[in-house]
Chain A
Amino acid sequence: MAIAKVLGIETEYGIAGGPDMDPITASSIVVNAYAQQGRTRINWDFHGETPELDARGLPGLTSFAPIVETHLANTVLTNGARLYVDHAHPEYSSPECRTPLEATLFDVAGEEVMRRAVMVANESLNPEHMITLYKNNSDGKGNSYGTHENYLVSRDVDFSYVIRAMVPHFVSRQIIVGAGKLGAETDHAIDADPYFQLSQRAEFFEEVVGLETTLKRPIINTRDEPHSDAERFRRLHVIIGDANLSQVATFVKLGSTALLLAALEDFGPEPFPSAPRHPVRAVRAYALDPTLHAVEICDDDQWRSAWDFQDQLWQLADRYVTQRGGEAVADDGEVTLILRQWRELLDGVRDDTDAVADRVDWVAKLRVVNGIRERYDLGPHDAKLRAIDLQYHDLRPEKSLAQRVGLTKLLDEGAVREAVHNPPRTTRAFFRGQCVARYPDQIAAANWDSVVFDLGEGPLQRVPMLDPLRGTAALTQDLLEVSSTADELLQALDR
């Protein structure tokens, strides 16, 4: 039986401005500004972080384990998210969510958190030092930063099956969920001299499988850090994806991937399409071809375009839902919406891109780039076009192009405002967020799988949360409501 696809998105934001133009300083200012104006100053607890563990077992000899930076600004929000400085970027890691729609809501709430954080930060800065944030994944000059998805997967699934089943999806989904960009910025892609690529990230991928995230980026990342009971769970850490401004794209990206993982758990890898023989070449070649005609040779000697892969994967997901139901991912209504939107985007990018310009980021962006290019008769490398590409991702409401291109909204603005402060009710993030909101002075630190209380006397007390589906509103709300202090809560938990 497929297990509940608990999921979430971590986003590193591009950052410009700040005093002395140092992105680490600027990122710290943003994170601290939010932490200090809000109700929370709870520190992140690094206990249990093991980014060096490899899902394949032995770490590869050439692998560099990611470095956990413990000295930079790092905080837990009342909505259960983590807001911190990762390398030289402010990062928002959404709380664990139970369904793709909920995870989309908390990703969009993250944009609002960042918008508020930078607003507060800028109040204390000179006008020439104003900070701006961008929800994108590259600077157009060869530097990339990530948007990572996380999915709870059963430990029973052999990791080699995850690789076998998911490579086709990860190389091909960019045709509907890519954020698009002008030009190229790595040697091999520059050689191809593209006018436009479907994905911001594709050209930065160099390996099929690996542990790293900053060098030799792999299509399948093997970081084995479940942040939960490692006997029962994996956390699939997906590093190959673009930050989406289209809410529908985020929803389809999460929904399609979650359904395929559930299908893998129940069906095994056999029904999945045969993978491209050269996955790295495939992901790059597909990105370079907005006509979607590029085909790649696969392990079964068939040639497939990215569209062919997506079509087969959609059929598989549809069959899975028909035969087994989609409960592992969401309720019937939401699963139907995932399948319908996925299908519409797929048919739209092939048959009539204007029909999906309100939902597919790369289509929306390219349409505006081409519109301005025609209007002013500009060359393909004109800086004005590059400015549009960048400004599409600008978080400032007065500058954001994504907010002006007519993207369909999936979420109610009131719900987004709520999600800025309140955690999802469906996972342990509820307990984490509520503890941070209710007992801020009695919490020493918190992380994904525990909350550490400091009651003032006696040792610190860690409340473990090794099951992402415990700590929900249904299980803990009554307890939290009758506990006016952390002491009372801990006594009640002991009973």
Chain B
Amino acid sequence: MSEQERIQKQRTERTADTAAEVSVDTTKGEQLKAELDDLLDEIDEVLEENAEEFVRNYVQKGGE
């Protein structure tokens, strides 16, 4: 059973009256999964170098 069918089936079981009108497009999600490694490479490149200091120095006053 494809991912799409599985989700559709689960939803049909749990919320039968709405299943007809909705669908989840999983193409993008699967694509993302495959791209996660590339994405992590890119994030690695821009991450603040001294994480500890960066996190420690971020102190805010409350607002609103």
What are the residues of chain B within 8 A of A23 when measuring CB–CB? Answer: 60-61
Contact indicator A143/B61 (Cβ below 8 Å): yes
- A201 to nearest B CB, angstroms? 11
The answer to the question of B1 belonging to the interface, with a C-beta cut-off of 8 Å to chain A, is no
The answer to the question of A443 belonging to the interface, with a C-beta cut-off of 8 Å to chain B, is no
State the total of A-B contacts with C-beta under 8 angstroms: 153
Contact indicator A354/B33 (Cβ below 8 Å): yes
What are the residues of chain B within 8 A of A25 when measuring CB–CB? Answer: none
* B residues 6-41 touching A (CB-CB < 8 Å): 6-7, 10-11, 15, 17-18, 21-26, 28-30, 32-33, 35-36, 39-40
Contact indicator A372/B63 (Cβ below 8 Å): no
Given A357-B29, A372-B40, verify A401-B46 contact (CB < 8 Å). yes
CB within 8 A of B55: which of A140, A340, A348, A352? A140
Contact indicator B63/A144 (Cβ below 8 Å): yes
What are the residues of chain A within 8 A of B25 when measuring CB–CB? Answer: 344, 355
Contact indicator A390/B32 (Cβ below 8 Å): no
Complex CA distance for A386 and B55, rounded to whole angstroms: 7
The answer to the question of A399 belonging to the interface, with a C-beta cut-off of 8 Å to chain B, is yes
Complex CA distance for A146 and B63, rounded to whole angstroms: 6
The answer to the question of A463 belonging to the interface, with a C-beta cut-off of 8 Å to chain B, is no
Contact indicator B26/A352 (Cβ below 8 Å): yes
Contact indicator B61/A391 (Cβ below 8 Å): no
Contact indicator B64/A387 (Cβ below 8 Å): no
Chain A interface size band reads: 35 or more
Chain B interface size band reads: 35 or more
What are the residues of chain B within 8 A of A86 when measuring CB–CB? Answer: 63-64
Complex CA distance for A143 and B39, rounded to whole angstroms: 31
What are the residues of chain A within 8 A of B63 when measuring CB–CB? Answer: 12, 86-89, 91, 144-146, 214
What are the residues of chain B within 8 A of A318 when measuring CB–CB? Answer: 18, 21
CB within 8 A of A391: which of B11, B15, B35, B47? B47
Residue in chain A with minimal CB distance to B7: A351
The answer to the question of A283 belonging to the interface, with a C-beta cut-off of 8 Å to chain B, is no
Residue in chain B with minimal CB distance to A311: B15
* A residues 317-357 touching B (CB-CB < 8 Å): 318, 340, 343-344, 347-348, 351-352, 354-357
Contact indicator A145/B43 (Cβ below 8 Å): no
The answer to the question of A76 belonging to the interface, with a C-beta cut-off of 8 Å to chain B, is no
Binary CB contact string for chain A from 187 to 215 against chain B (1 if under 8 A, 0 otherwise): 00000000000000000000000000110
- A438 to nearest B CB, angstroms? 33
The answer to the question of A495 belonging to the interface, with a C-beta cut-off of 8 Å to chain B, is no
CB within 8 A of A239: which of B52, B55, B64? B64
Given A16-B58, A143-B61, A311-B15, verify A371-B29 contact (CB < 8 Å). no
Rank and list the top 8 A-B pairs by shortest CB-CB distance, nearest first: A145-B63, A355-B29, A88-B61, A387-B51, A213-B64, A146-B64, A139-B60, A354-B29
Binding site for A on B (CB under 8 A): 3, 6-7, 10-11, 15, 17-18, 21-26, 28-30, 32-33, 35-36, 39-40, 42-44, 46-48, 51-52, 54-55, 57-64
27 contacts between A and B (CB under 8 A): A15-B60, A16-B57, A66-B64, A87-B61, A87-B62, A87-B63, A87-B64, A88-B63, A91-B63, A143-B62, A145-B60, A146-B63, A214-B64, A315-B15, A315-B17, A351-B6, A352-B26, A352-B29, A354-B30, A355-B26, A355-B30, A372-B44, A383-B51, A387-B55, A388-B47, A398-B46, A399-B48
